[in-house]
Amino acid sequence: MTHSKNKSLSTRVGFALAGIAHAARNERSVRTQLVVALLVLALLAWRRPEPLWWALCALAIGGVLAAEMLNTALERLADHLHPEQHPHVRIVKDCAAGGVLLASLAALVVGAALLVHLFAGRS
């Protein structure tokens, strides 16, 4: 059975939303990132910076959440295919976690620049 090939757009979006919901329910790191995203959006709504800052934050948030989703998917697949510890599986998982870390660090740079802009850069 094909999962999403040749399905309608609404069906494929439903599959994607189910994946996001699953990760949000079952992955603490995804829940943490969602809370941080909400806080950033609240800060943006409160301080109302230029649209460029909204775009930068959206890209940063989307990048981190996408990395978290891919990390979750890779970990689940690796655990399913090779449940026992294996050095190659560990490398795959470590690389996926490294991707999340890099995306998170980049998002922190965007967040720090936003804070400087909002609180130190304006009179």
Say if CB 71 and CB 19 are below 8 A apart. Answer: no
pLDDT tens for each residue of 32-90: 999 999 999 999 999 999 999 999 999 999 999 999 999 999 999 999 999 998 999 99
pTM (2 d.p.): 0.89
For residue 4, tell me if it sits in a domain. Answer: no
Average pLDDT over residues 113-120: 94
Its domain, for residue 61, covers 9-120
Instruction: Count up the domains in the chain and report the number.
Output: 1
For residue 83, tell me if it sits in a domain. Answer: yes
For residue 77, tell me if it sits in a domain. Answer: yes
Give kind and range of the element (H or E) at residue 50.
none
Tokens of 18: 């189910």
For residue 76, tell me if it sits in a domain. Answer: yes
pLDDT tens for each residue of 9-45: 999 999 999 999 999 999 999 999 999 999 999 999 9
* Neighbour tally for 76: CB within 10 Å: 14
Res 123: pLDDT: 47
* Neighbour tally for 8: CB within 10 Å: 9
For residue 2, tell me if it sits in a domain. Answer: no
For residue 80, tell me if it sits in a domain. Answer: yes
Say if CB 72 and CB 32 are below 8 A apart. Answer: no
Tokens 């090939």, located at residue? 5
Which pLDDT band holds residue 6 (cuts at 50, 70, 90)? confident
Res 41: pLDDT: 97
For residue 94, tell me if it sits in a domain. Answer: yes
CATH of the domain at 52: 1.10.287.3610
Task: Catalogue the active-site residues.
Answer: 68
Res 121: pLDDT: 66
Tokens 């943006």, located at residue? 44
